Chain A
């Protein structure tokens, strides 16, 4: 019987709707909205993965100060006035004298070269020497309103691997003289002479390779690297620890050994990092994918900092490895990500809208079921309550009484009978329209009162409604 099943289902639904189920469902819906809105904050950062790197080259308290001692401002002014190029003690910047002299030409250009790693106050003192045309702080070249910065890997390699500022100086001198270099026909100075790099000798390669095989890193005398930052290295290259070769900055005028290519053939599948001073080269797997972009990003971001201060190589390497980690997590080159813990919220989130939708539907159903019924059962007073068939039976009984008694009435009882019939008609209409039983019963009460008067008026007994109905209906 499908009808019965539906009926029983509706009954259960109504019983459920009268209980607290409706409000529980509403609370769950509200909670899922709150969860959904709360989770929006977490999906705002769209990344391939969350990079764990934190290291950057930070200002101060990282060992980047050189503790150099400067002469007083007046002394420096006197020195600059005395000769066109002044090198303060500890200065590292070098340049090709001939090229710079050619760029200067006959003009009066005075260059003050300060050591790297000065404090802010010391830098202000150097800037206060206003008769110097060009200031070189470490390898940072500035003068007038300008500051010259490298923008290609070759320029950066010259600046950081060899402290060579020739290109920067020439560029700045041209800028200060407001000359259009292209118009002058003079060729752009080579930033870094390729001839000054040479293949390493077998003995050199053997020394470095032995160090790498033994410890995984080789630190030459004069290099400022203390130890390879282990955690940053592990994050940057996954499970394989990189081999690190640390060399001091190379002199500008003699050819320096270029280890990268030779070593990468000896250790083909290991990531290999070669440092010359603050310059870092990567050789090894996926080099084509990320080495260049990482170097460009690293030196354009930290070049100012690295050139002004005397950072130990450990700082530089840490920042570089952090950047490699960032690049890897950005998905720019393909390496497996480390294990990421299971996040139940991420997994549950897609189900939330449908849980919410289900709650809404349940709430709607329960609310509809909880609406008051069209004809609530109301306890009736008077005769209707005593009559088994309810209001319709009472109407039928009174109507029958009115018809029967109509033959017996006289002129005094006629108005009452007519009034009773009018009330009965109104009651019949109301019942037909589905008006509440209480109202119909009220109309029937009026009719009953009139009929009672008629029943008392007629000579024959047994026509008063109470007596008449007792015989018929109960």
Chain B
């Protein structure tokens, strides 16, 4: 009888089935990686750009506040409106918001600077 032959065929069959089963995680992990890569490819540049834009906005806002402070010290008299603007800019800066907050702070600081410069020039 070809018992050995049959046993070998059965063993091969079994091995093959085991092998096929063990290949499943490759597909699963591969598909998950592809999906993750798709998300990452969109998300990472956006996130990076967001971080950079916020840093840029705050850098600009802080520079504007510094400049406005200098203009205040140089101005001859008090300008109530400008004081108010600068206080608001500093309050926003202390609150540490996002990009919009930074832009608003910069706008206030520039407005205050303009008022003080006008006051100094007058």
Identify which of residues 1-53 in chain B touch chain A, using a CB-to-CB cut-off of 8 Å: 1-3, 5-6, 9, 13, 17, 19-20, 23, 26-27, 30-31, 33-34, 37, 40-41, 44-45, 48, 52
CB contact under 8 A between A367 and B59, given known A29-B30, A353-B27: no
A364 touches B66 (CB 8 A): no
CB contact under 8 A between A353 and B23, given known A414-B74, A415-B120: yes
- In the assembled complex, the CB of A29 is this many whole angstroms from the nearest CB of chain B, namely 7
B residues in contact with A46, CB < 8 Å = 13, 17
Q: In the complex, which residue of chain A has the Cβ closest to the Cβ of B22?
A: A353
A299 beta carbon closer than 8 Å to chain B: no
B79 beta carbon closer than 8 Å to chain A: no
Give the A interface residue count (CB, 8 A): 41
A452 beta carbon closer than 8 Å to chain B: no
A residues in contact with B63, CB < 8 Å = 422-423, 426-427, 443, 446
A residues in contact with B23, CB < 8 Å = 350, 353
For the complex, give the distance between the alpha carbons of A356 and B31 in Å.
9
B56 touches A439 (CB 8 A): yes
Of the four ranges (under 10, 10 to 19, 20 to 34, 35 or more), the interface on chain B belongs to 35 or more
- Number of A-B residue pairs, CB cutoff 8 Å, is 96
CB contact under 8 A between A446 and B67, given known A331-B6, A429-B59: yes
For the complex, give the distance between the alpha carbons of A363 and B6 in Å.
44
A291 beta carbon closer than 8 Å to chain B: no
A residues in contact with B27, CB < 8 Å = 33, 36, 353, 356
- In the assembled complex, the CB of B42 is this many whole angstroms from the nearest CB of chain A, namely 10
A43 touches B20 (CB 8 A): yes
A371 beta carbon closer than 8 Å to chain B: yes
CB contact under 8 A between A367 and B56, given known A331-B9, A353-B26, A415-B70: no
For the complex, give the distance between the alpha carbons of A433 and B13 in Å.
62
For the complex, give the distance between the alpha carbons of A289 and B6 in Å.
13
The one of A289, A360, A415, A430 that contacts B34, using a Cβ cutoff of 8 Å:
A360
A388 beta carbon closer than 8 Å to chain B: no
A439 touches B30 (CB 8 A): no
Q: In the complex, which residue of chain B has the Cβ closest to the Cβ of A37?
A: B27
For the complex, give the distance between the alpha carbons of A356 and B20 in Å.
14
A334 beta carbon closer than 8 Å to chain B: yes
Q: In the complex, which residue of chain B has the Cβ closest to the Cβ of A430?
A: B59
CB contact under 8 A between A29 and B34, given known A354-B26, A433-B59: yes
For the complex, give the distance between the alpha carbons of A43 and B20 in Å.
10
B98 beta carbon closer than 8 Å to chain A: no
B62 beta carbon closer than 8 Å to chain A: yes
For the complex, give the distance between the alpha carbons of A415 and B31 in Å.
63
B74 touches A363 (CB 8 A): no
For the complex, give the distance between the alpha carbons of A422 and B71 in Å.
11
B residues in contact with A430, CB < 8 Å = 56, 59
CB contact under 8 A between A357 and B34, given known A414-B74, A446-B63: no
A466 beta carbon closer than 8 Å to chain B: no
Identify which of residues 364-393 in chain A touch chain B, using a CB-to-CB cut-off of 8 Å: 364, 367, 370-372, 374
For the complex, give the distance between the alpha carbons of A341 and B45 in Å.
53
For the complex, give the distance between the alpha carbons of A22 and B5 in Å.
48
B67 touches A422 (CB 8 A): yes
B residues in contact with A33, CB < 8 Å = 27, 31
Q: In the complex, which residue of chain A has the Cβ closest to the Cβ of B20?
A: A43
A363 touches B26 (CB 8 A): no
B55 beta carbon closer than 8 Å to chain A: yes
A residues in contact with B2, CB < 8 Å = 334
A144 beta carbon closer than 8 Å to chain B: no
A residues in contact with B19, CB < 8 Å = 350
CB contact under 8 A between A426 and B59, given known A371-B45, A419-B70: yes
A442 beta carbon closer than 8 Å to chain B: yes
For the complex, give the distance between the alpha carbons of A33 and B62 in Å.
54
B30 touches A356 (CB 8 A): yes
A residues in contact with B37, CB < 8 Å = 360, 363-364, 367
A363 touches B34 (CB 8 A): yes
Q: Given contacts A350-B20, A360-B33, could you give 10 more A-B pairs where the C-beta distance is less than 8 Å?
A: A334-B5, A363-B34, A363-B37, A364-B37, A372-B45, A419-B70, A422-B67, A425-B66, A426-B59, A426-B63
Q: List 29 A-B contacts (CB under 8 A).
A: A26-B34, A33-B27, A331-B6, A331-B9, A334-B2, A334-B5, A334-B6, A350-B23, A353-B23, A353-B26, A353-B27, A356-B30, A360-B33, A363-B34, A367-B40, A371-B44, A372-B48, A374-B48, A418-B70, A419-B67, A422-B66, A423-B67, A426-B59, A426-B60, A426-B66, A435-B55, A435-B59, A439-B60, A446-B67
